[in-house]
Structure 1
Amino acid sequence: MNVLGPTRSSAAMKWNSLIGDALNRFTTGRRRRDDDDDEGAQRHGQQQQPFRCVVSEQMVGIFVSVWARSGLRRHVRHAAASCVGAGVLGRLGNKGAVSVRFLLHGTSFCFVCCHLASGGKDGDAQLRNADAADILSRTTFRRRTTAAASPAPEELPLPRKILDHDRVVLLGDLNYRIAMDDAEARLLVRAGKWSMLLENDELLLELAEGGSFDGWREGLVTFSPTYKYHLNSDMFYWSIDAAAGGGDKQQQRAPAWCDRILWRGKGMRQASYERCGGYRISDHRPVRALFDAVCELAGGGVGVEHSAAGIASFGHVPLL
């Protein structure tokens, strides 16, 4: 989640409260439906299964929060966070990434929430690629620092770098644009020809070439562009202002898929990838993905348990 404004712990706490309320309200509602359908047979088994926060972290305007069911939470260990700034002067944190990692059973997970360089001018895509490479290179998780946190004899050393983890998800306002003539892109947007636009999507081109995202994957993009919209509207920013001949020329650039979710690692399957409808409090539109992930058991045994992870990327939502 990319949140406008300086670091404020109160804002992060408020977002965590809202996330927890939403997750547990959904779980409670579904449990009640199950109880009605099964005449209460599932009541005792599911009643004590609310979601709990595993780890959350904020750096300036970037915030990430990971949650797990209470029944699964006891299998989550060694949660940690790492922040890397890539903004003004490369270190101030208005751009960059917040990464969190943990072990689920014997499998390491890492979630990387990014805000890469903005802009649609020539050369800006290279700045985004450089930001991504810098984040992947510089992000480091600390080693265990207390005796209580020492690994069990059968545990391998914890991964310290993003790419050392078994399953990795990278998401956020990646800011990639459409690499084609602006006027032509607008015609395709008006016609709703997303597949033709995506042939020139900067991120998809970079994924195909390797480079900063070598080994990463993205699900099929079938949704409309996520940026840039008028607040509380489904109208693209340029569709009104450009037609009227007003507004900043740079802000009139054709829409793009700025908000994305990538992943890498064996044992992951993406079940869905879509844009969230109904959220109009930002000039971005959030996207979400659902993954099934296979987890090895602690000690090296192969687990048959699958863990579903819902991932959402919100670009530029207001502080609360």
Structure 2
Amino acid sequence: MQHFAMFGYYMLVHVCSCMLLLDREVISSLSLLQHGRTPKGETSEQIILPRLVTSKLLHRQQLHGHGSASEVSSVVDENLGQKHLNGHKDTFVYRVFASTWNVGGIAPSDDLDLEDWLDTRASTWDIYVLGFQEIVPLNARNVLGPTKNGISAKWNSLIGEALNKKERKEGAKLTQESTNSSALEGTVQGEGFRCIRSKQMVGIFTSVWVRSSLKQFIHHLDVSCIGSGIMGCLGNKGSVSIRFVLHQTSFCFVCCHLASGGKEGDVLLRNLDVTDILSRTWFPGGSTQELPEKILDHDQVVLLGDLNYRISLEEAETRSLVKAKNWAILLENDQLLFEFSRGRHFEGWQEGLITFSPTYKYHPNSDQYYWCFDAARGEKKRAPAWCDRILWRGKGLKQVQYETCNYKLSDHRPVRAVFHAECDVSEGAEVNGQNPH
């Protein structure tokens, strides 16, 4: 294992030298990381990324943008019934729950209750798409070493427990009322939720769950991972995308963790990350059925994650406005909304109206932002920002809910959205014993 690690390390240095023409300072930094030594108060990303900005920008100049941005829309009306499209296709409307959460490298406890986050007590949805960032710390060992799947498996176990808790209770009640085991089996299997696909890339983790009764209508399930971190290719930043076709409508869910930092020029790296992810993500096409191969080719797309866009104001002014809860002025200076208005990188994308507090940076296990506390020596007191966002695009996809959730596990708050998604179904087809309207 030691020889393998050394081999990987020297290959990494070789790639850096040849592809990016790194100077001695960068290679020296990589050597420090390989031996587990970093200057006090600095992370691996803080050491390497600033020295790779120029190379990263040059590397991505060959990529092309995707036109101008659409205007930011407000939340649409919830009154979305099933409707008939035309003489050849019918439509079913499904309820999709999507959420993003940067958990800051903190492993969940065995008794962590996710029911409030997943809104299982108030409502149940048809599809759950859950995107995480930093499920493991982004240190050199995790970025360069093998993927640790134990943490993602634990998150999936907790998710499954929360989603199926209600069904288990109903099944237990049925057991008391009836000795008909086949009825019990049908209830539990028909109404429960199953994970159809999950995928981890370093700290990015995407997990998709659907009602068991929907699984038979889902096909062409694929995943694509893009690393856009150190050297423009490592997985400390990037995306994990999962796509599938439900009936005759294609979906793509993109979980991202974009370049961090609040310095001038960091927003450009975030824009380049988005362009990189949209350009490089690829799914296999079908030999007998035409299938979308790129993210933007899908009928309906949701992009969520720690997009890391900040507020372009002096930190003192930002903090003052946050204290006053003056979201209007803060949002006028939000970098992502500014990119929307410039019309260069987010053509066709929409975002719901933001009515919640900035999602970053909180002190863990507290409602206080980090700058309210005395930071450790050399540690930055980062100003609050709406880093965690959910965007969408596509005909027939309507957002009906957009909010944050008060889980205090990490320095980020999870953000969640609910969509009504129209799916094309062959004329006269039955789904779960019902005909579409």
1:219 corresponding residue in structure 2: 352
Q: Distance in 1 between matches of 2:283 and 2:342?
A: 29
Match of 1:272 among 401, 415, 420: 401
Structure 2 equivalent of residue 228 of structure 1: 361
Residues 159-185 of structure 1, C-alpha deviation per residue, up to 9 Å, x if partnerless? 110000001000011000001122211
Residues 29/94 of structure 1: CA separation in 2 closer, same or farther (3 Å cut): same
Identity among equivalent positions (%) equals 58
1:126-145 map, 5 Å: 126-143=268-285
Q: Distance in 1 between matches of 2:319 and 2:280?
A: 38
In the other structure, the counterpart of 1:99 is 241
Count of aligned pairs between the two proteins: 283
The equivalent residue for 2:258 is 116
> Following superposition of structure 1 onto structure 2, how do residues 4-83 of structure 1 map, counting pairs within 5 Å?
4-5=136-137, 6=142, 7-28=147-168, 46-48=187-189, 49-83=191-225
Over 3 Å counting, the alpha-carbon distance change for 1:226 and 1:47 in structure 2 is same
192, 197, 201: which is aligned to 2:334? 201
Other structure's SS at 2:359 match = coil
Secondary structure of the residue aligned to 1:295 is strand
User: Which residue matches 1:287?
Assistant: 415
Q: Given that residues 167 and 188 in structure 2 are in contact (C-alpha distance below 8 angstroms), is that contact kept between their aligned partners in structure 1? A: no
CA distance in structure 1 between the aligned counterparts of 2:341 and 2:217, rounded to whole angstroms? 37
The secondary structure found in structure 2 opposite 1:192 is coil
CA contact under 8 A between 2:331 and 2:337: conserved in structure 1?
yes
Task: Name the SS for the 1:16 alignment partner.
Answer: helix
Alignment RMSD, CA only? 2.5
What is the CA-CA distance between 1:217 and the residue it aligns to?
0.5
Matches of residues 256-267 of structure 1 in structure 2 within 5 Å? 256-267=385-396
Gaps of 5+ in 2: 1-131, 175-182, 432-437
Q: 2: distance between equivalents of 1:185 and 1:291? A: 31
Match of 2:37 in 1: none
Q: Secondary structure at the match of 2:160?
A: helix
**Higher RCO structure, 1 or 2 (CA under 8 Å, sep 6+):** 2
2:312 counterpart of 1:183:
no
Query: In structure 1, what is the Cα distance between the partners aligned to 2:387 and 2:416?
Result: 13
Deviation for aligned residue 1:4: 2.5
* Kept after mapping to 2: 8 A contact 1:179/1:200: yes
Contact kept? 2:136, 2:151, Cα under 8 Å: no
Structure 1 residues 90 and 216 mapped into 2: Cα distance closer, same or farther (>3 Å)?
A: same
In the superposition, the TM-score normalised over structure 2's length comes to 0.61
> Which AA in structure 1 matches 2:300?
R
Whether 2:300 is the aligned partner of 1:167: answer yes
Deviation of residue 208 (structure 1)? 2.1
Give, as a single letter, the amino acid of the residue that structure 2 aligns with 1:163: L
Query: Alignment partner for residue 252 of structure 1, among 381, 397, 411?
Result: 381
For 1:29 and 1:175, the matched residues in 2 are separated by 40
**Structure 1 residue matching 2:226: 3-state secondary structure:** strand
Equivalent-residue separation in structure 1 for 2:282 and 2:296 (angstroms):
10
2:381 maps to a residue whose letter is Q
Separation in structure 2 between the aligned mates of residue 27 and residue 210 of structure 1, nearest angstrom: 46
Task: Deviation per CA, 1:24-66: give whole Å up to 9, x if none.
Answer: 11444588999xxxxxxx9897543110111111101100011
Q: Which amino acid aligns with 1:185?
A: T
Consecutive unaligned residues in structure 1, runs of 5 or more: 35-41, 145-149, 306-320
d(CA) in 2 for partners of 1:119 and 1:33?
A: 52
Q: Which one-letter code corresponds to 1:284 in the other structure?
A: H
Is residue 164–residue 192 contact of structure 2 (8 Å, CA) maintained in 1?
yes
State how far apart, in whole Å, the 1-side matches of 2:422 and 2:186 are: 23
Secondary structure of the 2:424 match is coil
**CA distance in structure 2 between the aligned counterparts of 1:284 and 1:121, rounded to whole angstroms:** 20
More helix by share: 2
| Letter in structure 1 aligned against 2:307 | L
CA contact (8 A) 2:306 2:388 kept: yes
After superposition, the Cα gap between the structure-2 partners of 1:142 and 1:90, relative to the gap in structure 1 and judged at 3 Å, is same
